[in-house]
Amino acid sequence: MTEGWLERRCLKVLQNEDTPLYLFALAAEEVDLIASVARIGRDEAGKLIGYQRPEKKKHVKQIQDYLDSADVLFPNGLILALPPEVRFKSSRGPTTSDGLVVAGTLEIPVSQGDDGPRPAWIVDGQQRSLALSRTKNRRLPVPVAGFVANNLEIQREQFLRVNTVQPLPANLVTELLPEITRVPSGRLPTRKLPSALVDMLNQDPGSPFAGIVKRASSTDEAKKAAIVTDTGLVEALKESLESPSGVLFPYRNIATGTTDTEGIRDVLITYWTAVRNTFPKAWGLPPTKSRLMGGVGIRAMGRLMERVMAHVDVNSPTALADAEKELRIIEGSCFWTEGVWPELGLPWDELQNTPRHISALSNYLARAYVTNRAALK
């Protein structure tokens, strides 16, 4: 190891020219020397930073106990995002390449001092890396796959790709998706826009959801005030965006791939502010005290939005008052915090966030709205 650099024998895998992939080994104590974990969170401006989930202490301890034992076999490697400053030197001779890989030496910059910034980021294997940093077996060789990517977007994309076998928490996935341009799975693009809209609702001071949506990046302090799980809200918005009958569907231009996000913002804030104003005693309480704020309430009221907002002109100065007028039609039919839901035969606190109860409550609210509205004419 030269001063400021770590040298390791390496294989350069020839997958593509734009993103070199290197296979090499590090001693357990060297992982912490060159790589950090990019914990998910938000900066002071509210911008998403990082992508990794929190440490699982029990899992890390189990790995460490094994690493501290005798006769360790540890084939589970790490995936690192390496800085562009790394230097690869191919070995001399005619047999250094077989057409798939090139043998050589990789030079990686080393952090100067314990508090210095580390040049690489751990994309996969954060729990293993923590155990490696604490093991007594300091010189244990650890297999590493590294790719050069100083771009956080590429790191996030690879992070989502390598975690498809053991699924990531849904709220972590949905929060990361708006931050990447290329979505790694054909099943995920539809979640990207709804998650971005949930971000907007959680951060917009004019939103009734401001500061009360629980996201993967929420700090421990923020989680104390967060009462709405983001996955339920994401699913509610996704339904409205995807269904041709959804009130948000017309705001997407499928041909051009553009979206009128300002128009969607107006619809969402108008409707959900009207919901808050119509049910003030049920709004802002944890789901254990108000089913309106739980997944079943958010999903059912999200479906009711399609009917209510069809009668509201969001560009009108009376839009909020008009939405409140429409919601008062079902006000007396709702039992968010006490009582028994008629037709459903369920006490308010027995409603659960299950497909069956979401469907039953949605249908009940739709019938009550249509029937009561017709009776008013």
Considering the domain architecture, whether residues 111 and 221 belong to the same structural domain is answered as no
Considering the domain architecture, whether residues 257 and 366 belong to the same structural domain is answered as yes
Confidence class for position 129, pLDDT limits 50, 70, 90: confident
Q: Looking at the domain assignment, is residue 168 inside a domain? A: no
Q: Looking at the domain assignment, is residue 188 inside a domain? A: yes
SS (H, E, C) 69-103: CCCCCCCCCEEEEECCCCEEEECCCCCCECCCEEE
Q: What is the DSSP string of 283-306?
A: TTS-TTT-GGGSHHHHHHHHHHHH
Considering the domain architecture, whether residues 28 and 112 belong to the same structural domain is answered as yes
Choose the final residue of a domain: 162, 193, 214: 162
Instruction: Quick: pLDDT tens for 247-278.
Output: 988 887 776 767 788 888 899 999 999 999 99
Q: Looking at the domain assignment, is residue 299 inside a domain? A: yes
Residue 22 has pLDDT above 60, yes or no: yes
In this prediction, residues 291-304 reach a mean pLDDT of 96
Choose the final residue of a domain: 162, 196, 219: 162
Exposure of 91 in the CB half-sphere (CA atoms within 13 A)? 16
Choose the final residue of a domain: 132, 162, 192: 162
- Candidates 241, 177, 245, 181; CA nearest to 215 is 177
Q: Is residue 4 helix, strand or coil? A: coil
- 26 is in which domain, residue-wise? 5-162
Size of the chain, expressed as the number of residues it contains: 377
Give the highest mean pLDDT range of 15-24, 164-173, 287-296: 287-296
Considering the domain architecture, whether residues 22 and 157 belong to the same structural domain is answered as yes
Q: Looking at the domain assignment, is residue 177 inside a domain? A: no
- Candidates 12, 114, 127; CA nearest to 78 is 127
Considering the domain architecture, whether residues 250 and 146 belong to the same structural domain is answered as no
In this prediction, residues 200-215 reach a mean pLDDT of 87
Considering the domain architecture, whether residues 133 and 16 belong to the same structural domain is answered as yes
The residues facing 11 across adjacent strands are 23, 103
Residue 71 has pLDDT above 50, yes or no: yes
C-alpha Rg value of the chain to the nearest Å: 26
CA 226, CA 215: separation in Å to the nearest integer?
8
DSSP assignment letter at 349: G
Considering the domain architecture, whether residues 222 and 348 belong to the same structural domain is answered as yes
**Domain count across the chain:** 2
pLDDT (0 to 100) of residue 294: 95
Considering the domain architecture, whether residues 267 and 129 belong to the same structural domain is answered as no
